[in-house]
Structure 1
Amino acid sequence: MRWRDNRPPPPPQSPRPVGNRRCDGENPFPARPSRVSRAGEFKRKRDETFMLRNLRNTGKTLTGKIVAGALFALLILSFAVWGINDIFTGRGSTTIAQVGETEISSEAARTTYQDQLRRLSIQFGQPITPQQAATLGLERQVLSSLVNEATLDERARALGLNVSDQLVARSIVDDPTFRGTDGSFNRGRFMSLLQSNGLTEQRYVAQERNAIARRQIVEALGEDFSAPVVAQEALHRYGAERRAARYVLLDAAAAGQIPQPTEEDLARFHQENATRFRAPEYRAATVLSVSPASVADPASVSDAAARAFHEQVAETRFGAAERREVQRIQFQSEEEAREAASRIASGEIDFEALARERDVPRDVLELGLLERAQFVDPAIAAAAFALAEGEVSEPISGRFGPSLVRVVAIEEAAVRPFEEVADEIRTELAMQDAADRIRRLYDEIEDQRASARPLAEIARERGLEAIEIAGIDAQGRDQVGATIDLPLPDRLPREIFDSDIGIDNAAIRTDDGGFVWFDVTGVQPARNLSLDEAREAVISEWRAERIEDRLAEQARGLVERLRAGESFDAVAADAGASVSVAENLARGQTQGDLDAGALRAIFATRVGEPGTARLGADRRLVFVVDSATAPPYLTTTPQAEQISDRMATEMGSDVLAQYVTQLQREIGLTINESLFRQAIGLEF
């Protein structure tokens, strides 16, 4: 896990149902009943098993300790929990799941889910809403994590596994996450990290104790697995095998002249493939976007305010600040520094000679040409900028001990005059004022929307320009396929399709500090296009299918001739195609004309045998496999060790999966899905 900082993530945005509003005027879209929640049903997004080695390491660092269950969720996501339909119940309680005697509370589910949601937001670099997280299957991961953690905890109690205080303490002390700069355990860092992640020491110690007990079970199941050498060799050959083949390409020209389709041909093809010719769902919407740039008024910024701002930031923003080239000599004591200053003042010695006398290295003597803010020691900066060029300071009690400094040269500040930057300053000040105006405007618009006012009406009343979208699909295109110019083009279409007529959607915050509101005002469901509407597409696909059929028939004929014993060159010549040779072909590595499908066909064909494969939309491949080679499998190589470890780990993972599944069957598992969704905010 990644430790999070103390900043709380922004609250998730949820739609607020306020009834079923209708648009004024004629609406070309049929209305649909409003829905109260945009939250979709659980989506099964993942079906994977993590390696047992990762599970053994779970908890050895803090990554596995706070949310160790998340790793178990990913490990066992595809078994036990989701394949048993009769475990879901609707009990009215605060328990979202129970494994044997262990209950998982809605509060635990909520806390775990929010932690994972926050972590996901940090990973993506932007706030992630529960609806967005649902598309990634986050809620399933959380529930699976909690359930499988509880399953192993229940088994640990049944086995009487006890983890001593000494073992828990040693595990925490040895965790590199809690080490300080000296490499040893740092209690201050330990407590700070716990606080940042909302944990007390007592709660963390309890979690670590349970995690150690779970690891003991996992490690006991996962030890001493070894895959048979013959299985290792098969896996080795699968990855290391290389093939060579000769081939010819049959393109659209080889299919000959395709006659024009009759009206009956088109009607039959359209009817048989109606679902291939569909218009997507379109939605009508009103969009209102307010940004700092749209409400900023540079002309309203007074000349006095602009000049005051220029005076405040002139050096840092509109020119180069004054810089001084400075030398410094450090001394062991204040008395020694005063004595040196007296010698310089009397003319007995100059600054450079004093530095040579004291063997001051040049890189220590020369501080360089610096602005005031660039000095490490503020006392040295203050003294240097108080001297004239060539002057030497009195002794300075600085951060690094007594010192004398000398100003070698002064580079005066160069500032652009106000007249040159006045427009830029007015724009900046207007944008700052716009941020306050937008916040006030947001509150006012939200108040109006709370009273069920249509967005178009609010925009007209406030003199704002709303965007009226007659029809938009889920990709942000209009009904002729052109991309619609929208604020937040990558997000807004998705938000529109996640909403519905009558939903009072939450405003979307933009990166520049503005807001975007939208109302869905109509829905035109997806439909099959008529033949007249889809005529060009029907003709194109009818021709493509005829070409594909002819090429496939021609390729089958060539393959039969090759199987009958004719030479590849003779068959290719009759087909009017040139022979190409591909060598060192590997699985999953495309080469030249050969795409992934062609490679699969070549590796599925025996050496010496011909075959054919579709190549793209309008080409066909005819080939002969000439050779298949693989280096011998040597069990003493690092590659062999990797294969052996990988297969052993996967075998251990399978055993663990079966073990947890059986445990849940034996001790009993019930899940209140509805309460879980309520706890994490996906159902109201």
Structure 2
Amino acid sequence: MLSVFRKFAKSWLALGLLGLIIISFAIVGLPDAFQGAGAKTDVIRAGSRHVDPAMFKRAYDNYRTQLEQRFGQPITPELAMKEGLDRRVLDEMATQESFAALLEKVGVRASDKMLTELLAEQPRFFDPVTRKFDRARYEQALAETGMTPKVFETGLKDEIASRQFIAAVAAGFRAPRAYSGLAGAFAFEQRDLAYFLIDPRSVGTIPQPTDAELKAFMQENKAALTLPEFRAISVMALSRQDYEGQVTVSEADVQKQFAFQKDSLSKPELRSVLQIPAKDAAQAQQIIAQLNQGQNPNEVAGRLGVQPVRFDDKPRTAFFDPAIAAAAFQLPEGGVSGPVKAQFGLAVLKVTKVSAGQEARLEDHRAAIEAKVRADLAAAKVSDVAKVYEDAHGQGADMATAAAKAGLKIISLPPMTAEGVTQDRRRAPLPEPILKAAFEQSQGVESDIQEAGDGQYFVVRVDRVIPAAMPPMESIKPDLIRALMLRRTADRMQAKADELAARVKKGESIDAVAASAGAKVQRVAGLSRATASQHAALGRELLGAAFGAKKAEAFTARGQQFGIAVARVDAIRPAGAEMTAMAANQQSRQFSEQVFGDIAEASRSYARTRLKTETNLRNARMSIGIAPDEAGPADGKAAPAAAGKGQ
């Protein structure tokens, strides 16, 4: 619905706000072209940042896996290319990298301490016993998703910097009340809908397709029906966890590890601070006087028409502006600062709460420290066993013989795709590095020892390769017949619906036309966009068409339960003044946030344009398994800014 108000982004208010962002970029200055030629294999280059094929593949695989889980079926690289998934991921990554590069250029960065403290607050990385951050568990969780700490932490820093920058610029922003009122008028407009459904039974019996027609249907849907390549593999694995019970942890080792981790385990001092922006020194003195009189900081800011920036129980590292951090941590609880010259102008601070820090004690962290030492000793043991295998293999022993000498087992696995999906559509619980190695080497070849992440190592051998191919028609014939007959039924229903809708357009009564088709007209009065969820049974397409149709216009749309509706909007009534006013009051803040979101998106697009971000679609496609002769051109010149979301 926000697309109705996109023109706001061209108003003086929006241009002024976006101008502040652009001016801050212009102060530093940006290059008009890349420094150097850049790596030929890069997928994205944005200023000083780049995305290589492995990074793109990881992001693409995560996105593809989410879609596979949602729809319950594998998505081949060819199908993904056809549906534009590769372009979608490439476009979003290019925009993110561009904005992150621009923030780096103007000096907006998240510190290492800020990152460390944020990670230490994430329950998924806690040791289940100590309930404290555990580095080994953290690395294991990332490895399970195919990520490294470096990649994850870079993305987290980008997100922190982006959010804080936008929050600072957005402080005090308010969209004109007329916009939220206009949104209310749009949402509460009422329509009366009349419709009837074409039932599948009304179009007669669909004849069974012949084998020739099924073969043609298979060829038409070849990309979707072709089975991917499958590989049967044998894997020898060894991991740190297998040896943790065989090592002895000494007190000296524990003391040494604790000394190394003590700073990160200690609890920093936390402060709650309200930051009120001031337009000049006189206004800053006015704010200081009112705060020192005990007035409510929110009320003081409200009278000035600004929004205070809140920091609730944050360590010093969470204050990305050094001047703000210095002032906030010099004041006592309840203290009010003088005028602070911050990165985005003058500000006055009030410290509302101070929580003292606490130095870490070994007694409180012994279990976690011992676990870390045990993990390190087990890793050394893994290295020793791996050396035994490598020495034997290097002297000519095959995989089975070398594994036996090292005391390791080999597991044979059934044929599976590069994504780890077996022929019976189960997902094999294998780390991505094993699958990647299996599909990069030839049949019969035994790999070297490779790392799978989190202290796990493996050797893989490809035992058998089953090339990608269309399945035999007989094996999927029932499904083909069903799909083709459903398509033909839908085509007949649509043709009949179009014929009946044409009669309504010529002036026949919709009730009479429905009766001639053996159907009955249903009527929905007072349908509005605000209450559309109450009429979900109508179907998404019918609802959308009803809100897009003109008064007395007949149209067709898919309805519920495979039916096709012939419909007409009989009346359109504007929203009442009382409902419009109520919506304006209730949605003002939400609408301001949504409109600012559009402006933030415009600034992301500006970053791509200003940095002349380059994308290489060919490299992106080859990274996800598309053959070079099918990957197409690089298409890597200056990329246009992506269209805003919601359009």
TM range (shorter): 0.3 to 0.5
Name the larger-Rg structure.
1
Q: Counting helix residues as a fraction of each chain, which structure ranks higher? A: 2
TM-score (norm. length: structure 1): 0.41
